[in-house]
Structure 1
Amino acid sequence: MAQRFEEFAAGLSYEDVPEAMRALLRVSFVDTMGVAAIGATTEMSQIARKSTLRLFGAGSAGAARMLMDGREVSPVGAAMAGGFTVDSVDAHDGTTPNKGHVGSAVFPALLAVADAMRAEGRAITGAEFMLWLAIGYEISTRAGKAQHATCPDYHTSGSWTAVGVAVAVARMLGASGEQMRHAAGIGEYHGPRSQMMRCIDFPTMVRDGVGWGAPTGVTAAYLALDGFTGAPALTCESEDAAPFWAGLGSDWMALADTHYKKYPCCRWAHPSMDAAVALMEENGLHHSDVARVEIRTFHYATRLAGHRPKSMDELAYSIAFPVATMIVRGGFGAAEMDAAVLDDADIIRISEATELIDDDEMTARSVAKRWAAVTLETKDGRRFAAEPRSARGDVDAPLSAEEMSGKYHMFADPVLGRARAEEIKALGARFDTLDAKGFAELLDLVLAAPQA
């Protein structure tokens, strides 16, 4: 018989977490903090933190500092503000089979509760935080797969990460297995069943739902601890969900599924972006040579229209504009997070000359990976076609350590300063080895406000 999810969460120890999973979470820690740093500069994050201060004052659970901000609110408020902050820049880790993201909810939620526990005098080690993260990642990943398989609509990451957060936070708070069942049920029931394609079609700051998924999960855990009931969570306990819980505790689904992003925009655009820049470099083309672009990709991706985005939210959920940016600038990074990019005439010209083609072959391929094929046509009539490719960053096509480091510093250094960014990176890369004092220092580094 498969291990029940509450038995897994209640009985797991740090030693039970495979070294490969620990290594993944170390990478995710540093990567997510880089995204949080640049995310803290966005209008979306600033609005979320302003509203959090108005609505979520600290209570008897202990004060928690908002991520990359330092001001104190409740742990639920800090989870919400942190979730919106990380989600404001679409560059965090993800899981392709779930069409979503685990870390953008789990990290802000667990950091918030850990800080509240610290404020109440609880010493927390890095090994403990690693254990809680592992629970949050694995439960979220499996609940997400179960939900996608059993629900007719495509819901945001916030809907299923609410379950993983609820269980992980319940473990943090010392809940029993039965209380964890209720926490999962409460988190699932009240989680934001927000339709992802609504935000794809009409991009706004609602994004991937984790700004509500993270605090919903935190709230669920505290409610369960106080005796509130909510079990069962259908994504964890229903007969239809059972196949997705097979091997729990021995086969780590999060380890197999987690990917990392090279560019700060929807990953559905990434294979086209890589293909376009490769064609430009291989054929010695200048952006002024390009007359039009054809992108053959899977159905959902063609909904990322955004040929002329008017906001950074619309840019995040587009393909034509990021591809045009790669053609014109040769890259897509922190500089392209400045709204001035939206008025770049060269990028606009190529973006508006880009055709998105809903391709059955690409749709059939795009299950475990996301595929696209790009063709460039020049003003003198030449055509350059790239073979279909998938996005890099998956387990079998990882970004190099140098690429991951470069991405982190590109995001973190201008916001935090090089010295603080380096310290976060050094400690984050071995956070599970830190004693209580060392982990408290790391909390201070990631929760304090950016440099003036």
Structure 2
Amino acid sequence: MTFDHIANFILARSEMPQSALEMAATLLIDTVGVAAGAAGLEAGQIARDHAFAFHGAGSPEHSAHLLFDGRQASIPGMAFAAATQIDNLDGHDGLNATKGHIGCAVVPALLAFAENRPDLTGREALEALVMSYEVAARAAFALHGSVSDYHTSGAWNALGVAALGCRLRDASSEHLRQALGIAEYHGPRSQMMREIANPTMLHDGSGMGALVGSMAALMAIDGFTGAPAITVESKEASTHWADLGKVWTIEQNYIKPYPVCRWAHAAIDALSALMREYGFAQRDVASIEVNTFAEAAALYRRMPSTTSQAQYSLPFALSVMLTHGRIGPEHISGKGLSDPDVAKILPMISVREGARHSRRFPAARCSDITITLRDGRQLASGDVDARGGPEDPMEMQEIERKFQSMTATLGTERAAALWGIRERLPQPGVSFKELARLTRAPAEGHDV
């Protein structure tokens, strides 16, 4: 596929399947819900304070409201802060084949760039969002297919952000080409497994991906130039772009049931299913053995002292599920990090790599667990793949329950209004600013 074809897909409105637009609406609202749930976490607060202090806009038309905060920053500053906020509550969508996340960068970019487009309809916003998911996914495929290291999402979702910014700013094809080149060149090619070995607020690099991508679009429009993006224009990358506009990868994204690393989800699902089937509780368990893929086996093993460690810990996630029967933001932050009932389960959990599970990654994220009860019984889950994707999707009622849990600090009226927009956004004549307006004021208890 030539660059002209790619540029036309990015910049021009074209027919998109209704199913892709509806999926975009669901992913958008789910991501906004995660942003609300993350508003009170330390990482999000630091990112918003930083954006307000150091990424101000020179004029009102270049500013955007920080999510669930009330203050304003520049468009790149807002995108950075919101993506960092979302990335640090690991409940956002992802795509298995990318080994990472798109929505946590492109949703903030959409809200940032759309603020100065009051005429933008909901359907136009969704079309731009679908486009950015498709571009980011193929940039990821091209990057992972051409380098040996496992890079974080910011390395490639920056290109989806740049494409979205160019579309909403009515950029030319040449501006777009320069923007993609700038975004790829400056995108954070950070190593994912370094973050797994030492969990921090860096998470998946999407904050910097959103910053770089939005800056790239704006700088290119101002005349700044960049080398052509290798992941878009090289001969080796062409195979990854050949199905653009034909295969809609956005419909293959998963939605997370739990706000922790996706690599832990299969084991959590396995434990949850056994708890429902056999009716045991924490006090009945003597040990839990987990077989999983290599990347999941590398997750943090000890009792976490930070939210980042908690989200990147498979044993901790299992302990929370066994103790509380669910995993919410309150379990991976604040007092949840010193819960004595959760802590006493950790020594009972052993995790090791299972070769067959490693062979399936990243197409699948599988685990199996064996639970030994105090009465001597052993309960085996068999192989379980993480649910939430197209092969085992969450029901809309469950997605709504997750959204309600994440938006508890918004108040029922505001949360209900946000959720209600999901169905209306794809319909003709609905203004996107209806949704944007609801994301600006601080959450309850998080005034600035």
Question: Which TM-score bucket, shorter chain as reference?
Answer: over 0.9
In the TM superposition, 1:92-131 aligns within 5 A as 92-115=92-115, 117-118=116-117, 122-131=118-127
Instruction: Give the distance between the partners of 1:153 and 1:449, measured in 2 at CA.
Output: 39
| 1:213 corresponds to | 209
| 1:451 corresponds to | 444
Q: Is the 8 A contact 2:306 2:333 kept in 1?
A: no
CA deviation after TM superposition for structure 1 residue 230, in Å? 1.1
| 2:336 corresponds to | 341
Residue 161 (1) aligns with residue 148 (2): no
CA deviation after TM superposition for structure 1 residue 48, in Å? 0.7
Which stretch shifts more, 181-190 or 279-288? 279-288
Q: Is the 8 A contact 1:132 1:169 kept in 2?
A: no
TM-score, structure 2 length as denominator? 0.95
Instruction: Give the distance between the partners of 2:416 and 2:355, measured in 1 at CA.
Output: 45
**One-letter amino acid of the counterpart of residue 448, structure 1:** A
Residue 193 (1) aligns with residue 192 (2): no
CA deviation after TM superposition for structure 1 residue 428, in Å? 3.1
Residue 232 (1) aligns with residue 225 (2): no
| 1:321 corresponds to | 316
Q: Is the 8 A contact 1:143 1:163 kept in 2?
A: yes
Candidates 422, 429, 433, aligned match of 1:428: 422
For structure 1, list consecutive stretches of 5 or more residues without a partner in the other structure.
none
Offset from partner CA, 1:358-414 (integer Å, 9 cap, x none) = 1111111223110000001123432211110101111121000110010000111x2
| 1:52 corresponds to | 51
Residue 10 (1) aligns with residue 4 (2): no
Which stretch shifts more, 169-178 or 60-69? 60-69
Q: Is the 8 A contact 1:91 1:265 kept in 2?
A: yes
Instruction: Give the distance between the partners of 2:226 and 2:181, measured in 1 at CA.
Output: 5
Identical columns (%): 40
| 2:391 corresponds to | 396
| 2:70 corresponds to | 70
Q: Is the 8 A contact 1:29 1:429 kept in 2?
A: no
SS of 1:395's equivalent? coil
Q: Is the 8 A contact 1:140 1:161 kept in 2?
A: yes
Candidates 414, 432, 435, aligned match of 1:442: 435
Instruction: Give the distance between the partners of 1:135 and 1:405, measured in 2 at CA.
Output: 25
Q: Is the 8 A contact 1:92 1:103 kept in 2?
A: yes
Instruction: Give the distance between the partners of 1:278 and 1:128, measured in 2 at CA.
Output: 41
CA deviation after TM superposition for structure 1 residue 305, in Å? 2.6
Instruction: Give the distance between the partners of 1:17 and 1:380, measured in 2 at CA.
Output: 57
In the TM superposition, 1:27-426 aligns within 5 A as 27-60=26-59, 61-115=61-115, 117-118=116-117, 122-255=118-251, 257-412=252-407, 414-426=408-420
| 1:26 corresponds to | 25
Instruction: Give the distance between the partners of 2:145 and 2:63, measured in 1 at CA.
Output: 38
Q: Is the 8 A contact 1:409 1:421 kept in 2?
A: yes
**One-letter amino acid of the counterpart of residue 197, structure 1:** M
- Residues 449 and 434 from structure 1, CA distance in 2 versus in 1: closer, same or farther, beyond 3 angstroms? farther
Which stretch shifts more, 243-252 or 212-221? 243-252
Instruction: Give the distance between the partners of 1:449 and 1:318, measured in 2 at CA.
Output: 30
Q: Is the 8 A contact 2:366 2:385 kept in 1?
A: yes
Q: Is the 8 A contact 2:89 2:329 kept in 1?
A: no
Instruction: Give the distance between the partners of 1:428 and 1:337, measured in 2 at CA.
Output: 28
Q: Is the 8 A contact 2:139 2:232 kept in 1?
A: yes
SS of 2:368's equivalent? strand
- Residues 434 and 410 from structure 1, CA distance in 2 versus in 1: closer, same or farther, beyond 3 angstroms? farther
Instruction: Give the distance between the partners of 1:351 and 1:440, measured in 2 at CA.
Output: 46
Q: Provide the aligned length of Structure 1 versus Structure 2.
A: 443
TM-score, structure 1 length as denominator? 0.95
CA deviation after TM superposition for structure 1 residue 251, in Å? 1.6
Instruction: Give the distance between the partners of 1:70 and 1:244, measured in 2 at CA.
Output: 40
Offset from partner CA, 1:164-212 (integer Å, 9 cap, x none) = 1101111111111121111111000001111111111100101111111
SS of 1:295's equivalent? strand
Instruction: Give the distance between the partners of 2:244 and 2:70, measured in 1 at CA.
Output: 37
CA deviation after TM superposition for structure 1 residue 82, in Å? 0.7
Q: Is the 8 A contact 2:300 2:309 kept in 1?
A: no
CA deviation after TM superposition for structure 1 residue 345, in Å? 2.2
CA deviation after TM superposition for structure 1 residue 441, in Å? 2.6
Q: Is the 8 A contact 1:428 1:442 kept in 2?
A: no
Q: Is the 8 A contact 1:298 1:362 kept in 2?
A: yes
CA deviation after TM superposition for structure 1 residue 434, in Å? 6.2
CA deviation after TM superposition for structure 1 residue 92, in Å? 0.7
Instruction: Give the distance between the partners of 2:247 and 2:333, measured in 1 at CA.
Output: 42
SS of 1:375's equivalent? strand
Instruction: Give the distance between the partners of 2:62 and 2:178, measured in 1 at CA.
Output: 23
Offset from partner CA, 1:88-142 (integer Å, 9 cap, x none) = 2100111111111100000001211111x14xxx522212211211111110011
Which stretch shifts more, 19-28 or 441-450? 441-450
